[in-house]
Amino acid sequence: MKTPRLLRLALSPIARLPLLVWATGCFLHGPAPAAASQPNLLVVMTDDQGDWDLGSTGNPHIETPNMDALAQSGVRFSRYYAAPVCSPTRAGMMTGRYAFRTGIYNTRFGGDSLALGEITVAQLLKGAGYRTGLFGKWHLGRYHGYQPQQRGFDEFLGHYQGHIERYEYADQFVHNGRPVESRGYVTELVTDAAIDFIDESKRRAPAAPFFCYLAYSAPHSPFQMDTSHAHQPKGDAMIEKYLKKGLPLMQARIYAMVERIDQNLGRLLAHLETSGLAKNTVVFFMSDNGGVSKHWTGDLRGFKAQVYEGGVRSPLFVRWPEKFPAGGVVRGQASHVDLLPTLCELAGAKVPGDREIDGRSLVPLLRAGTGDRHHEYVYHSWNRMLPTPDANWGISDQRFKLVGPGSGARTKGGETNWGLFDLENDPGEKKNLATEQPAKVKALRGEFLRWYGDVTRGMNYAPVPIPVGHADENPVELQPSWAKTSGENTKYVFEAYDWDTIEGWFKPGEAAEWKIVVAQGGRYELALDYGCAGANVGGRLKIGIGAASVEFTPARTGTPNVFKRVVAGILTLPPGPATLRAEVAAAPAGEVLRLNRVWVRRLE
pLDDT means per 10 residues, the chain with 604 residues, are 36 33 38 67 98 97 98 98 98 98 95 97 98 98 97 98 94 95 96 98 96 98 93 95 98 98 98 98 98 96 97 98 98 98 98 98 98 98 94 97 76 67 97 97 98 97 95 95 96 93 98 97 97 95 95 96 97 97 96 97 92
Domain spanning 381-456, CATH architecture: 2-Layer Sandwich (3.30)
* Contact (CB, 8 A) for 98 and 156: no
Taking the CB of residue 136, how many other CB atoms lie within 10 A of it?
Answer: 28
* Contact (CB, 8 A) for 459 and 587: no
Adjacent-strand bridge partners of 551: 542
Q: What is the third-level CATH fold of 466-602? A: Jelly Rolls (2.60.120)
Domain 6-15+61-353 sits in which CATH superfamily? Alkaline Phosphatase, subunit A (3.40.720.10)
The pairing of beta strand 484-486 with beta strand 155-159? unpaired
The pairing of beta strand 419-422 with beta strand 564-573? unpaired
- Report the C-alpha gap between 386 and 383 in whole angstroms: 6
- pLDDT of amino acid 496: 86
Which DSSP symbol is given to 290? Answer: -
- Report the C-alpha gap between 37 and 348 in whole angstroms: 9
Q: Is the pTM of this model over 0.75?
A: yes
* Contact (CB, 8 A) for 448 and 454: no
Which residues are CB-neighbours of 44 under 8 A, at least 6 positions away? Answer: 214, 216, 265, 268, 283, 284, 285, 286
Adjacent-strand bridge partners of 46: 287
What phi, psi does 301 have (nearest 5°)?
A: -105, 140
- pLDDT of amino acid 8: 37
- pLDDT of amino acid 411: 45
H-only helix segments in 464-541: none
Rounded to the nearest 5 percent, the helix, strand and coil shares of the chain are 25, 25, 50
Among 509, 510, 516, smallest CA distance to 580 is for 516
- In the chain, CATH 2.60.120.260 sits at 466-602
* Contact (CB, 8 A) for 570 and 523: yes
Taking the CB of residue 449, how many other CB atoms lie within 10 A of it?
Answer: 14
- Report the C-alpha gap between 210 and 207 in whole angstroms: 10
- pLDDT of amino acid 222: 95
Adjacent-strand bridge partners of 330: 77, 371
- pLDDT of amino acid 37: 85
Q: Is the four-CA dihedral 213, 383, 141, 91 of positive or negative sign?
A: negative
- In the chain, CATH 3.40.720.10 sits at 6-15+61-353
Which residues are CB-neighbours of 66 under 8 A, at least 6 positions away? Answer: 262, 263, 265, 266, 269
- pLDDT of amino acid 36: 53
Strands in 378-381's sheet, in edge-to-edge order, are 378-381, 393-396, 400-404, 419-422
- Report the C-alpha gap between 163 and 427 in whole angstroms: 31
Which DSSP symbol is given to 338? Answer: G
- Report the C-alpha gap between 576 and 520 in whole angstroms: 8
Taking the CB of residue 481, how many other CB atoms lie within 10 A of it?
Answer: 20
What phi, psi does 168 have (nearest 5°)?
A: -125, 140
Which residues are CB-neighbours of 447 under 8 A, at least 6 positions away? Answer: 377, 395
What phi, psi does 136 have (nearest 5°)?
A: 120, -135
- Report the C-alpha gap between 164 and 47 in whole angstroms: 12
| HSE (side-chain half, CA atoms, 13 Å) at 213 | 30
Within its chain, how far is the Cα of 273 from the centroid? 29
- pLDDT of amino acid 406: 74
Prior bond of 467 cis (ω within 30°): no
Which residues are CB-neighbours of 453 under 8 A, at least 6 positions away? Answer: none
Which residues are CB-neighbours of 490 under 8 A, at least 6 positions away? Answer: 502, 503, 504, 505, 510, 511, 512
Kindly provide the residue ranges of all beta strands, DSSP E only, lying in 377-481, ordered along the sequence: 378-381, 393-396, 400-404, 419-422, 466-468, 476-478
- In the chain, CATH 3.30.1120.10 sits at 381-456
- Report the C-alpha gap between 217 and 292 in whole angstroms: 14
Among 218, 74, 188, 202, smallest CA distance to 133 is for 202
Cα–Cα separations (whole angstroms), residue 396 to 181, 248, 286, 423, 432: 44, 34, 20, 9, 14
* Contact (CB, 8 A) for 339 and 358: no
Among 160, 22, 171, smallest CA distance to 86 is for 160
Adjacent-strand bridge partners of 601: 525
